[in-house]
Amino acid sequence: HTATDWADAIDEVDVFYNLGPNHVHAEPSIAALEAGVPVLCEKPLAPTLETAATMRDAAAAAEVPAGCAFNYRFVPAIRYAKSLIADGELGEIRQVRGRYLQDWLVDPDAPWAWRMDADLAGSGALGDLGAHTVDLLNFLVGDRVGGVETVSGHLKTFVDERPVLDDEGTVSEYRDVTVDDAYTAQIEYESGATGSLEASRVATGHKNDHTVEIHGTAGSLRFSLERLNELELLRTGNRGYETVLVTDESDPYVDHWWPPGHVLGWEHTFVHENYEFLSAVESGEPFSPSFTEAYEVQRVLDAVERSDERGERVSLD
């Protein structure tokens, strides 16, 4: 079966995957949930906090799984890192750092796309990349530090208009860029732990550099998406970091793939994500990350925007 209107498909599908641009997340996803169809929606949940709240409430009222596609939670090294933190290997968590750097918009002649329109995307690097970082840190340390309480953020647009290309690849017009090219933020959690966040789509030389660091009283760890089979770990008593290759059969998800030492790739995160989501659909159990968890990410994104607009540190509403 095929359809050119999502509304025609709602009653015919077992699950609804909403992988469209941010501005079309809400209406189809809510309609599917109201029809009793499980939903997996792309991140960020919505362009605005208000719309994200509506989606969260619709998911809460539905009796089917509703998840947000934060696929980096499903990297084996991230799952291993979470287990170390949960077991207290790093001690009390005091500081976190997260950055997500890309360079696909360095060229001022890079063509305009929907991701550069605030009405369609909500935000730029903040929502496109920063949402991943906020969720990953929430996943890793949220149980130990609580939620984000305060935020000081700054947004920057370096190129304020970009060309629109026609079918022949020639410039037909220029359109305004109404979102950020880069953001930075300082955050504080309920526990008093602090963090620094940044993302950029104009960081020359960085293709998909998503890095998180967790620092505790008994150890630290570092993870880079560009080396996603590895986790750098500093334990008490060690004089430096050790590199752990997370490819053993006992590591999360790895037993479903190749022999030890045979690495996984970016695409495997989506397989793991789909496995977990469809398992939740089959069992009827909740899926994580849920719409509620995605809404918590949206609260941080909204706070960064409010802080930038006001020029001051803000509390999360």
Among residues of the chain, what percentage have pLDDT more than 70? Answer: 100
Torsion-angle region of residue 90: left (phi > 0), alpha (psi -120 to 50) or beta? alpha
Task: Please list the alpha-helical segments (H only) found in the chain.
Answer: 6-9, 26-34, 49-61, 76-86, 118-121, 125, 131-145, 266-283, 291-310
Q: Categorize the per-residue pLDDT at 235 as very low, low, confident or very high, splitting at 50, 70 and 90.
A: very high
Among residues of the chain, what percentage have pLDDT more than 90? Answer: 90
CATH number of the domain at 214, please.
3.30.360.10
Query: Phi and psi dihedrals of 71, rounded to 5?
Result: -70, -20
Residue 134 lies inside a defined structural domain of this protein: yes
Residue 29 lies inside a defined structural domain of this protein: no
Residue 69 lies inside a defined structural domain of this protein: no
Mean pLDDT of the chain: 96
- Residue 269's pLDDT is 95
Assess whether pLDDT exceeds 80 at residue 317.
no
Residue 190 lies inside a defined structural domain of this protein: yes
Q: Categorize the per-residue pLDDT at 1 as very low, low, confident or very high, splitting at 50, 70 and 90.
A: confident
Tell me how far CA of residue 89 lies from CA of 2, 94, 233, in angstroms. Answer: 51, 13, 10
* Secondary structure of residue 8 in the 3-state scheme: helix
Contact, 39 vs 29, CB < 8 A? yes
Work out the end-to-end distance of the chain between its first and last CA atoms, rounded to an integer number of angstroms: 44
Q: What is the per-residue pLDDT across 9-37, written as a single tens digit (0 to 9) for each?
A: 998 999 999 999 999 999 999 999 999 99
- Residue 65's pLDDT is 97
Q: What is the per-residue pLDDT across 147-180, written as a single tens digit (0 to 9) for each?
A: 999 999 999 999 999 999 998 889 999 999 999 9
Number of separate domains in the chain: 1
Average pLDDT over residues 113-139: 98
- Residue 263's pLDDT is 82
Average pLDDT over residues 270-282: 97
Assess whether pLDDT exceeds 80 at residue 260.
no
* Structural domain boundaries enclosing 228: 75-264+292-310
- The angle subtended at Cα 20 by Cα 229 and Cα 316, nearest 5°, is 75
Residue 171 lies inside a defined structural domain of this protein: yes
- Residue 115's pLDDT is 97
Q: What is the per-residue pLDDT across 27-82, written as a single tens digit (0 to 9) for each?
A: 999 999 999 999 999 999 999 999 999 999 999 999 999 999 999 999 999 999 99
Query: Phi and psi dihedrals of 162, rounded to 5?
Result: -140, 155
282 Cβ contact partners less than 8 Å away, ≥ 6 residues apart = none
Residue 17 lies inside a defined structural domain of this protein: no
- Residue 251's pLDDT is 83
State the CB neighbour count (10 A cutoff) for residue 190.
12
- Residue 170's pLDDT is 93
- Residue 53's pLDDT is 98
Residue 8 lies inside a defined structural domain of this protein: no
Strand order in the sheet with 16-18: 16-18, 39-41, 66-68
- Residue 254's pLDDT is 84
Assess whether pLDDT exceeds 90 at residue 250.
no
Assess whether pLDDT exceeds 90 at residue 249.
no
Assess whether pLDDT exceeds 90 at residue 256.
no
Residue 19 lies inside a defined structural domain of this protein: no
**pTM of the prediction?**
0.96
- Residue 255's pLDDT is 82
